[in-house]
Chains A and B, each alone.
Chain A
Amino acid sequence: MSAVMPVDLPIDEEGQDELSRGARRADKIQLGATKRKLSSPWATAAALIIAVLWTIPTFGLLISSFRPRELIQTTGWWTVFENWGWTLDNYSTALQTGNSQLNMAGAFVNSFAITIPATVIPISIALLAAYAFAWMDFRGKDTLFILVFALQIVPIQMALIPLLQLFSQGTIFGFPVIEAFGSFGYAQVWIAHTIFALPLTIYLLHNFVSEIPREVIEAARVDGAGHGQIFFRLILPLTMPAIASVAIFQFLWVWNDLLVALIFADGNVAPITKLLAEMTGSRGQDWHLLTAGAFIALVVPLVVFLSLQRFFVRGLLAGSTKG
């Protein structure tokens, strides 16, 4: 999580296309005056080189994950045409490897069991709060909102250990506050992710929710709708695309997280990132397992990213990333 301010930028990918199309047309009229610098062969070449450089690492991993064990250990993946050989064994072996409590296949399922609730819960809670901050009047509203926003400066490292004590012993400063539930399943990971996501999510959703025209809300109020109905009938449908952007972020962030998982997800509820990190420590040279394992962990975020890229970019441009 990080404190980031909003950027005022054209938000939609479509809008961007539209804009660039318009610009291109204008360029043509101007005899390509503006366009010349952009289509310079040097720039194109440089772009191509960067694109290739950025893709090679992932590409090499993908190729390697399908090569037989002996070939990975002795030859580079770029010699794949000279040393021909393909297999799916790495994947089936990788899915079976793990520690005494859990294998990769189980960890993959765990990742879903952690990520889906840890996406739905914070976004619902944040949306409630965002609505109150945007459309309800109360004393100290601005102060409270700035306070919530400012909480982003707290690195989650500051909160980990006390939160762990709260979950496992039920104590704050040594005083019993709640019933301890430390060792039961995913509960503490859900709650931890929910809490850490709230400041940024409330801020982002507030930006979107407050953009709804005042007249729309007022018209609904005149028609006799209460806050509950406005929230349910107006806010929810109107901000659905924004909610989707934020949800994709949260999903990717939770899926890819390691730190929270290391502290809160022990034993048989560990997500795939934790198992992978463990495997790099203990079997760091077993490249046939590591490449396949890494690809299993990559595939879900990659599919989400590639299929929902439009929303993802919109979320980014709304002024956010978590790091």
Chain B
Amino acid sequence: MSDFFRWLSTLNPWLEIIVIVGIFLAVVGLILFFIEIAPRKGRMYTIIRLIACVLGPVLVLFLLQSWVEAMIAAAVLGLLFFFLDKRARDGAGSLFQLFGFLTPAIVLLAIGLIVPTIQTTVQAFMNSRGNTFVGFENFAWIFTQPANVRIVINTIVWVLVAPIISTIAGLAYAYFIDKSRGERYYKILVFMPMAISFVGASIIWRFMYTVRPAGSNQIGFLNQIIVWFGGQPLNFLAVEPWNTLFLIVVLIWIQTGFAMVILSAAIKGVPTEQLEAAELDGTNAWQKFINVVVPGIRPALIVVLTTISIASLKVFDIVRTMTAGANNTSVLANEMYTQFRSFEAGRSAAFAVILFILVLPIVIYNAVQLKKQREVR
């Protein structure tokens, strides 16, 4: 396989796209072909099936690494699989089909997510070279250094501030523009930052925050506003502890559009009868909003809040591009990368594990809510 990738990397990038996508689709086509003929009766189909059963595993192992023993093992497994398949509950070929559909995804997930998660967790308890077990030393190091404690606190500030403000802004906006003329265009304007990369957004906001010495022309819009109001230009990214909040503004700017789109659709799902009933009861606009609309869109609110919370926990690009963690603005994901770059694999893994632990309760809450919803239905 490495020979193939080596050859591929000598091509022109555009040609490379065509070749890899083409080969990949051909492989998928082949899988589908075998899936299709798997349950058919007749000697010829049996032979094709037998060949596929044995050849598949052998080929995979050959591509990965040419181990003779492994190939023999695979061939034996393939044969076994073939005979199992003939006696399967749902008739000949059913197991084969199932494997054809599921194997690519399951194998990739196992290799790429399940095993690495275990590895990282183990790594978190090892020293920087990954060969000696050091117990909780990495975690102790994190929670005894003031700079690192600050990183954890910063991450928590991100999770507390970003989701709440973007949800409120998105909800207000969605409600304001609901059924107004030109709603579509209003939506596009606020939704557009969603398409912009975090790196691009960071550059946009660095430009907004740029500072020049007092007395000279400002080129950063925000500092110009401060100057217009008679203030002193402010180096937004260097004033602790507020600089973290100025970074959070970027995420809010991006995520408000997301909140707005989801909540706007939810608001449209609130039954008109309920709104009218509230109207007849003589409620004012605010009461109607709080007592009818907000309860009506509760599930959507939860989705928006959880999604943005998880995004803020994992925020990396913004911090990396705006400050690279300088002036006490670092967060877990950024520090994990920094430690990895300085060959501190153990500490890097420990940061990743803390991140994982912080994400966990949000997702569990989410799952519980999902289950409740299902039960109501």
User: Interface size for chain A: under 10, 10 to 19, 20 to 34, or 35 or more residues?
Assistant: 35 or more
A226 touches B5 (CB 8 A): no
B363 to chain A, nearest CB (A): 4
Q: CB of B234 within 8 A of chain A?
A: no
* Known interface pairs A117-B20, A124-B25, A227-B101; A158-B197 also in contact (CB < 8 Å): no
Q: Which among A54-62, A84-92, A210-218, A238-246 touches the partner chain?
A: A54-62
Query: A226 near B39 (CB under 8 angstroms)?
Result: yes
Complex Cα distance A64/B207, Å? 10
Chain A residues within an 8 Å CB radius of B366: 3-5
Q: Within the complex, what minimum Cβ distance (angstroms) separates B35 from chain A? A: 4
Question: Do the beta carbons of B266 and A7 come within 8 Å of each other?
Answer: yes
- Closest residue of chain A to B177 (Cβ to Cβ) is A47
The 8 Å CB contact of A316, one of B112, B192, B197, B258, is B258
Q: Does B256 contact A (CB under 8 A)?
A: yes
Give the contacting residue for B262; candidates A26, A178, A192, A316; CB below 8 A: A316
Q: A19-B268, A184-B2, A227-B36 are in contact. Are A5 and B369 (CB under 8 A)?
A: yes
**Structural contact, A151 and B333, CB atoms closer than 8 A:** no
**What number of B residues sit within 8 Å (CB to CB) of A?**
140
Contact A125 B115 (CB under 8 A): no
Is A142 on the interface with B (CB-CB < 8 A)? no
CB of B65 within 8 A of CB of A258, answer no
B134 adjacent to chain A (CB < 8 Å): no
Please tell me if the beta carbons of B21 and A116 are within 8 angstroms of each other in the complex. yes
The interface residues of chain A lying within 8 Å CB-to-CB of B180 are 38-39, 43-44, 47
- Most chain B CB within a 10 A radius of its CB, from A34, A110, A125, A177: A125
Q: How far is the CB of A154 from chain B (nearest CB, A)?
A: 5
* Closest chain A residue, CB of each to CB of B221: A60
A185 lies within 8 A of chain B by Cβ = yes
Q: How many angstroms between the C-alpha atoms of A225 and B62 in the bound complex?
A: 33
- Check if A155 sits within 8 Å of B314, measured CB to CB: yes
Contact with A along B2-19 (1 / 0, CB 8 A): 100110110001101100
A174 to B203, CA, bound (A): 40
Which of B51-59, B102-110, B144-152, B240-248 interfaces with chain A?
B102-110
Nearest first, the 7 closest Cβ-Cβ pairs linking A and B are A323-B311, A228-B36, A185-B9, A195-B112, A256-B197, A305-B195, A162-B116
- Name B's A-contacting residues (CB within 8 A): 1-2, 5-6, 8-9, 13-14, 16-17, 20-21, 24-25, 28, 31-33, 35-40, 64-65, 90, 97-98, 100-102, 104-106, 108-109, 111-117, 119-121, 123, 169, 172-173, 175-180, 183, 186, 188-200, 202-208, 210, 217-221, 224, 253, 256-258, 261-262, 265-266, 268-269, 272, 275-276, 279, 285, 288, 299-300, 303, 306-308, 310-317, 320-322, 324, 333, 336-337, 340, 345, 348-349, 351-353, 355-356, 359-360, 363, 366-367, 369-370, 373
Residues on A lying within 8 angstroms of B by beta carbon are 2-5, 7-10, 16, 19-20, 23-24, 26-27, 30, 33-35, 37-40, 43-44, 46-47, 50-51, 54-58, 60-61, 64, 72-78, 109-110, 112-113, 116-117, 120-121, 124-126, 128-129, 131-132, 136-138, 144, 148, 150-163, 166, 170, 172-173, 176-181, 184-187, 190-192, 194-196, 198-199, 202, 226-229, 231-232, 252, 255-259, 262-263, 269, 273, 276-277, 280-281, 284, 287, 290-291, 293-294, 297-298, 301-302, 304-306, 309, 313, 316-317, 319, 321, 323
